[in-house]
Amino acid sequence: MKFDTYIGSSETRLAEIEQAITTFDFSSGKQDEYQNLNREYQQLKKLLDAWRECQKAQADIADNRELLEVEEDAEFREVIETDITELEAKAAKLDRDIKTLILPPHPNEGRNVIVEIRPAAGGDEAGLFAGDLHRMYTRYAEGAGWKVEMLDATENAVGGFKAVSFSLQGGSAWSMMNLESGVHRVQRVPTTESGGRIHTSTVTVAVLAEAEEVDLKINTEDLRFDVYRASGPGGQCVNTTDSAVRVTHIPTGLIVTSQQEKSQHRNREIAMRILRSRLLEQLQAEEDAKNAAERRGQIGTGDRSERIRTYNYPQSRVTDHRFGVTLHSLSNIMEGDLGELFGEIRSKDAERRLVEELGGE
């Protein structure tokens, strides 16, 4: 994708901002205007610095390839080839950075997330895979230095989950996790399968940007709280007090339950955190539909009923259907090594959004 026209207009805009900052009248009392100018300046400078560095890397690659054509010394040829490989990796990273810097920041950037995982089709095997996905995301989060907080979990009789909700708290949590919402399909031989047949099961994942109380006002008269005794696998009671909480948002019909903690007060707090985040997601979805801000049609709707990925155990293959990305490193991915997968799908997501942002330039 060529960015020349956009880069040219960005250079012009940067010069205008530099002039505006230099001549800014601080006695006007418009400090917000100055801060906005400075913020835009920093963003454009990052973009143009990355662009120039990428151009230099590409020029160095071309020069090295010319040298390689005439160089006869085997040892020196090896040095040149190593330089080319390193420069290509550098240019590819800078290209990804440029795409990210061109795209306008999403309002959820910097937010923590709440992840909800539920078995869909496949019975106990789907519940076990829900547990595998929970472990995968948790390990990735720990490697990224995020805080992981279990919010609610209901186990099934074989050690999997009927449902699990947890929060991931870190500056890049939403940026890295927002493309995980949807249906995840697994193809493998269940541990309970004596005949060795491959079964297909599905699990739904919902990634919610965690809402703060200041993000939206919820009227107390719009809420109904019910309390009951928490239950464990098989439905047996695991608490002798009514500590579990169910909250219903009457206007929308949204229902959230929490029974993870022994304290009714704590479960109520957790339920409200999840409810706020679901309401924020609903409001943002309505806004997106109204103004087509995210224009996600080409890569899928983001609807959690959409199948986004298949994990094929016999072939050690993971395929993301939205972006046509296939990796043959399933065991590493399930251990939380999601860097390559996330890098691939985020890069392709950025490319498709750039086509829309720049009008197909």
Q: Are residues 124 and 33 in the same domain?
A: no
Q: Last residue of a domain, which of 102, 137, 172?
A: 102
Q: Are residues 32 and 72 in the same domain?
A: yes
**Taking a C-beta distance cutoff of 8 angstroms, is the pair 267, 243 a contact?**
yes
What is the count of structural domains for the chain? 2
Q: Are residues 186 and 213 in the same domain?
A: yes
Q: Are residues 119 and 220 in the same domain?
A: yes
Q: Give residue 96's pLDDT.
A: 81
List b or e across 274-311, with b for residues whose CB sees 16 or more CB atoms inside 10 angstroms. bbbbbbbbeebeeeeeeeeebebeebbebebeeebbbb
Name 130's Cβ contacts closer than 8 Å, sequence gap at least 6. 117, 118, 119, 160, 161, 163, 164, 203
Q: Is residue 107 part of a domain?
A: no
Q: Are residues 317 and 232 in the same domain?
A: yes
Q: Are residues 140 and 241 in the same domain?
A: yes
Q: Give residue 214's pLDDT.
A: 66
Q: Write out the two tokens for 129.
A: 């895979």
- The helix (run of H) or strand (run of E) holding residue 265 is helix 264-291
Q: Is residue 9 part of a domain?
A: yes
Q: Is residue 249 part of a domain?
A: yes
Give how far Cα 118 sits from Cα of 17, 96, 148, 188, Å: 49, 33, 18, 18
Q: Is residue 233 part of a domain?
A: yes
Using left for φ > 0, alpha for ψ between -120 and 50, and beta otherwise, residue 316 falls in left
Q: Is residue 108 part of a domain?
A: no
Nearest in space to 199 (alpha carbons), one of 305, 124, 117: 124
Q: Give residue 111's pLDDT.
A: 87
Backbone angles phi, psi at 162, to 5 degrees: -80, -30
Q: Are residues 91 and 129 in the same domain?
A: no
Give this prediction's pTM.
0.70
Q: Last residue of a domain, which of 50, 82, 102?
A: 102
Q: Are residues 293 and 161 in the same domain?
A: yes
Give how far Cα 63 sits from Cα of 73, 84, 184, Å: 17, 9, 45
Q: Write out the two tokens for 145.
A: 């230095």
Q: Are residues 223 and 264 in the same domain?
A: yes
Q: Write out the two tokens for 346.
A: 């985020």
Q: Are residues 304 and 229 in the same domain?
A: yes
Q: Are residues 94 and 128 in the same domain?
A: no
Each residue's pLDDT tens digit in the chain (361 positions)? 567 788 999 999 999 999 999 998 888 777 778 888 888 898 899 999 999 999 999 999 999 999 999 989 999 999 999 999 999 999 988 988 888 788 877 888 888 999 999 999 888 899 999 999 999 999 999 999 999 999 988 888 888 899 999 999 998 899 899 999 999 999 999 877 777 889 999 999 999 988 877 677 888 888 888 888 776 554 444 555 678 888 999 998 899 888 878 888 888 888 888 898 888 888 877 766 655 543 444 344 445 568 999 999 999 999 999 999 999 999 999 999 999 999 889 888 888 888 777 765 5
Q: Is residue 239 part of a domain?
A: yes
Q: Is residue 232 part of a domain?
A: yes
Q: Give residue 294's pLDDT.
A: 39
Q: Give residue 359's pLDDT.
A: 63
**CATH number of residue 173's parent domain:** 3.30.70.1660
Q: Last residue of a domain, which of 102, 122, 154?
A: 102
- Per the structure, the complete domain to which residue 25 belongs is given by 4-102
Q: What is the SS3 assignment for 122?
A: coil
Q: Are residues 341 and 257 in the same domain?
A: yes
